[in-house]
Structure 1
């Protein structure tokens, strides 16, 4: 698979306008440097049997668990938790094989293993139940958590993510092939020396405004993935573990779920189309419907954190 396919396919100021008390958008500015420094300073590690799991925790009150996509890490949710920390204890882990979590070479990186890691983390942090907010591959893990441990999930806010009929999505298959071939890390590492390339390819594929994929943001996401031979191998292993479908057979369980669920979906995403949100709306008995973001792409959560905050606040009133 040619590396250009990966680049093409997967390729803190608040905005002036607001919805209620929440900012709609957080445009990319020089403030990203301050954001990354603050997030770095706030990082902690949960010492689990799985390894040293990196996470950031802010706020107080009932717990909210934020699950990121790939190749991102918890930094994806920085602006959303800034708006929600006044009403929730926001816990933002980095998945094994991504971000700053450190796990041994033999640790499985499947969605099922990620789910088990989260349960162990919640136990260590003495969290009995959490409101879960998730996107992309994190959404697959969130659904597994809801199916296998429903007692741990108070509510579920899903944005552009895997569903049983679309996991892994066709648009991600070339990336998985590159991971199998061992070339994915090398291609991702190029973003560090060529941010313009990162914005023109990956950034354009996943953001409405690729300029928000700043040099500091790229570094925060990419540096841990390519920092050592082990981390490169685990970055590959994470993607290889996306196939076969980690959600196979889950629909029958989710159809019996009593968890309130809301979908917030970027309607311009070509990887997880609106049909995926509509599918989730049909199968969850307590679905609260779909909010469509016309200009939103896969990682719109970074551009429009106020929408995530607003929808989370509304869903939490029902849980």
Structure 2
């Protein structure tokens, strides 16, 4: 069997495990919320994002991050296999109201991980706490997607006094962590094959990356996404550092949220859940579960037909909901 055939088989398996996929034709046609047209990435392109990137030295390594704006801080947490570039549109739209900080997680993006440092969600929480300390930030408004949502929940449990508000998009919940769809990725990562068999082919062939068998068709709402520059920004550092990429995936192979429900029920910071209904990775039951867990819940807003990484495609929706949550 050719590597391309293995790739396609693995991706189809991932989709089937996620939602009982029945071979239906893929299409990128959601019902877009009024006034929220899809965008390619806002004002900040890859060159501008790269020029704005800073590194802060911590015990966990040199943490790459981009900042926009001043005032109270907002912290944007991405998932796998993306990095802070996912939030470029949201940062441009919210920097008038917050000091927006978008770091690259340990093991992903352009963060340089210290030798021997773990990259599990628990490690990410400790890293973020130190990063905020070094940046002189006490409290944050948290916005998160995908595995970054699991990290956000763990951060809220570990540091409730540092969280002013929480906006979660499609992500893990205690009842769905990790989602079954992630098993093929974790299994390949354990065999040191995930990068070579999935990510490298996508990086080499952007059309494949946007196809129904690629990152785009699996997790983005519209077939023109991710853009060429986004593919390069997301995948090149992961392909160039396969060991840490595999370590990140393997670190997701347990229910890292086990036992958090009781603590989250006692939370009082305002929490809003935004959920793309076209997501085949996370459980369809998770948004209502999450809305019922947080003590300060402001309910759920569903984005009809939108897939997992929709926050990149609809930054104005993120900005609208964040401003409402923040009262600005």
Calculate the TM-score normalised by the size of structure 1: 0.91
Determine if the alignment matches structure 1 residue 24 to structure 2 residue 28: no
Closer/same/farther in 2, CA of residues 100 and 112 from structure 1, 3 Å limit: same
Displacement of 1:26 in angstroms is 3.8
Determine if the alignment matches structure 1 residue 124 to structure 2 residue 134: yes
Q: Distance in 2 between matches of 1:170 and 1:4?
A: 18
Question: 1:7 is matched with which residue?
Answer: 11
Determine if the alignment matches structure 1 residue 225 to structure 2 residue 235: no
Question: 1:76 is matched with which residue?
Answer: 86
Task: Could you tell me which runs of 5 or more consecutive residues in structure 2 were left unpaired when the two chains were aligned.
Answer: 1-5, 17-31
Determine if the alignment matches structure 1 residue 189 to structure 2 residue 193: no
Determine if the alignment matches structure 1 residue 51 to structure 2 residue 61: yes
**Conserved in 2, the CA contact under 8 Å of 1:72 and 1:221?**
yes
User: What value does the CA root-mean-square deviation take over the aligned residues?
Assistant: 2.0
Q: Distance in 2 between matches of 1:292 and 1:279?
A: 14
Determine if the alignment matches structure 1 residue 39 to structure 2 residue 49: yes
Displacement of 1:18 in angstroms is 9.0
Question: 1:206 is matched with which residue?
Answer: 219
2:286 maps to which of 244, 260, 276? 276
Residue 57 of structure 2: SS of its match in structure 1?
Answer: strand
Q: Distance in 1 between matches of 2:109 and 2:123?
A: 16
Question: 2:309 is matched with which residue?
Answer: 299
Closer/same/farther in 2, CA of residues 263 and 5 from structure 1, 3 Å limit: farther
Question: 2:228 is matched with which residue?
Answer: 215
Closer/same/farther in 2, CA of residues 10 and 155 from structure 1, 3 Å limit: farther
Closer/same/farther in 2, CA of residues 61 and 26 from structure 1, 3 Å limit: farther
Residue 24 of structure 1: SS of its match in structure 2?
Answer: coil
Equivalenced residues, count: 305
1:267 maps to which of 247, 264, 277? 277
**Conserved in 2, the CA contact under 8 Å of 1:7 and 1:202?**
no
Residue 40 of structure 1: SS of its match in structure 2?
Answer: helix
Question: 2:147 is matched with which residue?
Answer: 137
Determine if the alignment matches structure 1 residue 175 to structure 2 residue 188: no
Displacement of 1:6 in angstroms is 4.6
Residue 285 of structure 2: SS of its match in structure 1?
Answer: helix
- CA offsets, 1:75-125, max 9 Å, x none? 000001110001110000000000000012311111000000000000001
Question: 2:168 is matched with which residue?
Answer: 158
**Conserved in 1, the CA contact under 8 Å of 2:120 and 2:252?**
yes
Determine if the alignment matches structure 1 residue 240 to structure 2 residue 250: yes
**Conserved in 2, the CA contact under 8 Å of 1:184 and 1:236?**
yes
Q: Equivalent residues in 2 for 1:75-114 (5 A)?
A: 75-114=85-124
Q: Distance in 2 between matches of 1:26 and 1:125?
A: 33
Residue 96 of structure 1: SS of its match in structure 2?
Answer: coil
